[in-house]
Copies of this chain bind each other. A is one copy, B any other.
Amino acid sequence: MTTPIPKPKNGEKKPKAGSYHHGDLKEALVAAALDLVDRKGPKGFSLAQVCRQAGVSVAAPYRHFADKEALLAAVAQSGFLLFQGYLEETVRPYENDPFESLRVLAVKYVEFARQNPSRFRVMFAADLQKSRFPELFATAHNAFVVVLKTIERCGTGRSASETYILAVSIWAQCHGIAVLAVDGFLREISMEERINELIKLTLDRFIEDLAK
């Protein structure tokens, strides 16, 4: 005796194994793509492989994504959501020490990139256009806001514009180190084991100066 199928509420999807409906193919495709990107790099990502891994035909994704790039954008977006949560977790323990928050944020920013290099590259360097994927950039901005809010806690005398550019500067400093590490240019000059030293050297004085 099977339980009667309840009328599905908005956004609720239960997987039905065995039927021709996959259940939640959209999410399964994103998961498979994420897995491939993380295991084989951004180059080892083909729609056909994703379909094989998800157990569907090569035409199936086109019910859910306009094209390959749209699936990639979904992967990037899920990455930014993860990133945002990761950064929020990072600053939470330092609620009343915004300067320490920034120092730890910098370390964790680079750590995230190094622990998820392929995902990080898809997020930042997949050449996805804002005009096509505005939600993607909105999600990315939410991660940036974690830095922005932390700066705001570092002093009240600043204009919004001033706070903004300070946050962009810190973001860029972290990002530069992260990207060079991920793309192998710090390994080249045997700097990878000195990354935390590099982060300190680059950012500590800058952060210190925020106290005016």
Contact = CB atoms under 8 A, between A and B. Distances in A.
A174 to B, nearest CB: 7
> What number of copies of this chain does the assembly contain?
2
B202 A205 contact: no
A184 B129 contact: yes
A176 B172 CA distance: 5
Contact of A185 (B124, B197, B198): B124
B180 A172 contact: yes
Interface string A33-56: 000000001110000000000000
Nearest to A170: B202
A127 interface: yes
A48 to B, nearest CB: 17
A198 B140 contact: no
A144 interface: yes
